[in-house]
Structure 1
């Protein structure tokens, strides 16, 4: 079974004279070249899989993939001729939280759109009737659900993936947006549980990413629906807020089925009862597995092999080091900074004096609104501290928390303007290929998705010639595999180039994999923040987790971090010993 996918955004047949078609063996034997809506169309029936068109396409718009024969006839939806195709769907279960875990571009959001009634499945054809859809899912758990969906007897509530778009579509106060969505009369309860008291009176355009995320979760859960779908609930939330949001969602699942799409495995492990894995080739096809127990499913995903399906989804497993915590080996100090203060109306950051070592990765953790981004901006020279103490005599490269495309230029042109050597074999092997940037070089910045733009911003930051590299929340909108590649890239960059890197992030997996030392922020969110001096991983994580009241352990099989359930035997035992971080 063979599928051909042509990326409509990249395919420009008028500019290349259909080189892909001219060199195709089937064309030479009489097949006609076809162009539909300014896109080359490849006949999957005639295609022999020689790969010539893939190599000849100057815009890298074509993918030819051989699929297992068992997938034939199981298409759920296809986006037009030679478009992305999705196989199978996740199954919402009453009384449970079902998780959907997988790489970006493998159909997770498409599955949510179908199950929420936003998109009618076409079974891989131009159009499919509901009778054909019912025949396709006959004998499955989804049949009754799809029949109710077709009859309009299912009400769904959806929290979108990209909450940054909310201010663009809604103008006004946050409280008005929430009251408008509040069909169950639980707005006040959700405001309290999600700690939105200080945010709800402000205009939506003034809210931070974390505030927008919690507002979107509250608006979704306040609707009177039969099924709730939440797409990426953890972006911009700190660990405490992620845990709180998980508790609120868990309470909703006791009443109604909930399906979540999430890349934070620690939260998914804590929140979900079952998990579906989506795999495939991003942008080409995606396959959703049958439900698995959450621990088993996550471990299979990390290993990269699905035994029940007999499918290997990754060349190598995602591994976690056993011997934690890790201490920085370098003792050479890149810079020492004095204690400083930065004040805003209603908020003050106080930073203890500290140092950053040469060639180390310094992780930064803490609750939202305690001044982490302010601290980074002071070091980056974007803003000044109150007494103008911080004047670093070195070059700094800075990736801000929120990235956006300010110019409409191709990614390749943008990166070459930063460092012309980006086309060298070293940078392509070490930087572009691991993060999948090679396939984006001909795309314009303003055409990229949030995850694509994030990866480009990370590469742009590391390409600059600097002494200190500051990355604020590099994991936002990235899937698990992309986060792992980012972690590996940053570690190799710091070690091989002997550069110092400071990373602010809320993904405990990312911080755990890359950090030599930890800088912990404490304080009262929104009012005051205290940046403690950098310290070793065990001391720093114990300080941070004790403030949150959370303990971590390692999974026996994969050695990945796992959040202990509150009040469990391990949780009580570790707290009694003061070992919040990997008690052995």
Structure 2
């Protein structure tokens, strides 16, 4: 089976010469394999297409994908967005009393899957020219495990609750105070319990548009759980949350399914959190914007290990060319390169917050991971090093040029992504180093013709990371780069940061809460602790072993190592392994 997909957000018919039509061999033979359709965009006949791929390579905007798929998938088609549009194959099956995870790259239909299961969209089974019908859907799924669920959904007998992906858009939808929003969401007793569990007391009298990303996320989660529903959907619930909050939210979601027998489906890219949270996971594979396939459920450990390997043995599908690996022992303890910057014991006093940091040194080529709770002063420290904020006490030694990617990014440029890069980088935009080491691994080229204001959260994040790494600087301060990136993109971003620092002899400070990302990107660790929004204390940089032990001792959790992949897995609190590692003082690295 061959599918032809036109990526409409990339197609620019006014800026091209219709190379796809001009060079198509079948068109040259007189067949109407590709014709001009609506708004000058090409329409490709999948029946007539020979699959030569010439149109794919000739399109200057990489807007066409011709993909060969197994014939058996044709009968599994669930939804298609128009001719030459994205198509989704298969659906996950919700189960009472169980947290089901969905894991896969961005742009392959995870959110579409949730929309269908939440009853927000009726699947058209690929018949995009006719109005979708529940009768046809039920006929197709008759005799399957999913039939009973879909039948009840079609009759309005299933109540659903959805926590959306992009919580930073909430202020545009809801106005007023947090307390008013929560009171509209559910029962008073339930809301009161959630306010305590999610530590929302200080946000209740504030307007929604005054909240930080982490506060918005917790409010959105509370509002979703407060609803009386049969099934709960959480689309990326860990974004903007620190490791403390991620584990707390994971436990609350687990309690929701275990204590009440409710159905729960979670899309999550933080693999450590997904491993801790879900019991069963559906992997998804596909091609961004072209198609997505939901595979049969696997136990969570097996699913994540398969995902890291890049190969699904049972399906004989390779969805990544490289395997993601972890070390059970820490990297070298001493950093031997030349010193780049040093800083005294620093203090910064605000009206309601006080930050103190111990003296430290960052070396050339070193990537320092910065960990700790939200609201503890990590970004304030980064801004002091960048010269954006002046310390109240202490000095930062050595004047270094700094490139800074902030925590919260907004599309404030009027124009396309390509115009943004030309404006910011000038001649560096055409440099071979940028093309090979930043543009290609971060997948920026396909975004060039898009308007900056139309970028998704993940696309905007990749653009921001690319701009920060491409700037001429001695030190790169990158705040929460993993937000809105899928697991593949997070690993690729971590590799890119390390490679750029090592090849250019520069240094980086990376603030993030994804433990896998921090593990892959860091040479050393800075640890922040204290009381959020009151005072913070920063220490380090430490070598990875000492830093991880200090940080996780504060959090109160330990990680064991998976026997097959060496990836870190969170131990159950109070388990034999948890107690043993705490007694030995090894909270993260278990190798010698």
TM over 0.5: yes
Aligned partners of 1:468, 1:10: CA distance in 2, in Å?
34
Deviation at 1:573, TM superposition (A): 1.0
Deviation at 1:487, TM superposition (A): 0.9
Deviation at 1:53, TM superposition (A): 1.5
Aligned partners of 1:423, 1:74: CA distance in 2, in Å?
44
Aligned partners of 2:333, 2:201: CA distance in 1, in Å?
40
- 2:180 corresponds to which residue? 176
- 2:449 corresponds to which residue? 442
- 1:205 corresponds to which residue? 209
Q: 1:119 to 1:489 in 2, by over 3 A?
A: same
Moved segments of 4+, more than 4 Å: none
Aligned partners of 2:535, 2:396: CA distance in 1, in Å?
20
Deviation at 1:390, TM superposition (A): 4.0
Mapping of 1:10-159 within 5 angstroms? Answer: 10-32=10-32, 33-126=35-128, 127=130, 128-159=132-163
Asked if residue 332 in structure 1 is aligned to residue 334 in structure 2, the reply is no
Deviation at 1:328, TM superposition (A): 5.0
Aligned partners of 2:59, 2:266: CA distance in 1, in Å?
38
Indicate the larger mover: 534-543 or 32-41.
Answer: 32-41
Deviation at 1:75, TM superposition (A): 0.9
CA contact (8 A) 2:402 2:477 kept: yes
Asked if residue 191 in structure 1 is aligned to residue 198 in structure 2, the reply is no
Aligned partners of 1:184, 1:581: CA distance in 2, in Å?
40
CA contact (8 A) 1:338 1:352 kept: yes
CA contact (8 A) 2:161 2:225 kept: yes
Q: 1:253 to 1:350 in 2, by over 3 A?
A: same
Aligned partners of 1:99, 1:351: CA distance in 2, in Å?
39
- 2:236 corresponds to which residue? 232
Secondary structure at the counterpart of residue 42 of structure 2: strand
Aligned partners of 1:229, 1:507: CA distance in 2, in Å?
21
Aligned residue among 524, 534, 544 for 1:537? 544
Deviation at 1:415, TM superposition (A): 1.8
Q: Deviations over 1:360-400 (max 9, x none)?
A: 00110001110111111121122222248447511000000
- 1:250 corresponds to which residue? 254
Aligned partners of 2:442, 2:157: CA distance in 1, in Å?
43
Aligned partners of 1:439, 1:483: CA distance in 2, in Å?
18
Deviation at 1:306, TM superposition (A): 1.1
Aligned residue among 566, 570, 573 for 2:577? 570
Aligned partners of 2:502, 2:200: CA distance in 1, in Å?
41
Deviation at 1:308, TM superposition (A): 1.9
Aligned residue among 347, 356, 359 for 1:350? 356
CA contact (8 A) 1:89 1:111 kept: yes
Aligned partners of 1:91, 1:458: CA distance in 2, in Å?
36
Q: 1:295 to 1:129 in 2, by over 3 A?
A: same
TM-score by length of 2: 0.96
Secondary structure at the counterpart of residue 484 of structure 2: coil
Asked if residue 478 in structure 1 is aligned to residue 496 in structure 2, the reply is no
Q: 1:326 to 1:239 in 2, by over 3 A?
A: farther
Q: Deviations over 1:244-277 (max 9, x none)?
A: 0000000101220100000011111111010000
Deviation at 1:513, TM superposition (A): 1.2
Deviation at 1:13, TM superposition (A): 2.4
- 2:424 corresponds to which residue? 418
- 2:372 corresponds to which residue? 366
Deviation at 1:572, TM superposition (A): 1.0
CA contact (8 A) 1:5 1:284 kept: yes
Deviation at 1:4, TM superposition (A): 0.9
- 1:403 corresponds to which residue? 409
CA contact (8 A) 2:122 2:133 kept: no
Asked if residue 272 in structure 1 is aligned to residue 274 in structure 2, the reply is no
Aligned partners of 2:446, 2:493: CA distance in 1, in Å?
17
Secondary structure at the counterpart of residue 442 of structure 2: coil
CA contact (8 A) 1:10 1:61 kept: yes
Aligned residue among 511, 517, 523 for 2:524? 517
Aligned partners of 2:547, 2:104: CA distance in 1, in Å?
31
Mapping of 1:288-327 within 5 angstroms? Answer: 288-327=294-333
Deviation at 1:289, TM superposition (A): 0.5
Secondary structure at the counterpart of residue 37 of structure 2: strand
Asked if residue 491 in structure 1 is aligned to residue 498 in structure 2, the reply is yes
Secondary structure at the counterpart of residue 534 of structure 1: strand
Aligned partners of 1:246, 1:385: CA distance in 2, in Å?
37
Secondary structure at the counterpart of residue 165 of structure 1: helix
Aligned partners of 1:326, 1:458: CA distance in 2, in Å?
27
CA contact (8 A) 1:428 1:438 kept: no
Aligned residue among 558, 562, 570 for 1:551? 558
Query: How many residues were matched structurally?
Result: 584
CA contact (8 A) 1:330 1:358 kept: no
- 1:9 corresponds to which residue? 9
- 2:534 corresponds to which residue? 527
Aligned partners of 1:148, 1:408: CA distance in 2, in Å?
47
Q: Deviations over 1:286-321 (max 9, x none)?
A: 101011100011101111111221211111111113
Indicate the larger mover: 122-131 or 548-557.
Answer: 122-131
Secondary structure at the counterpart of residue 72 of structure 1: helix
Aligned partners of 1:320, 1:501: CA distance in 2, in Å?
21
Q: Deviations over 1:159-216 (max 9, x none)?
A: 0001000112112111111111124741110011111112222111111111111111
TM-score by length of 1: 0.97
Q: 1:103 to 1:194 in 2, by over 3 A?
A: same
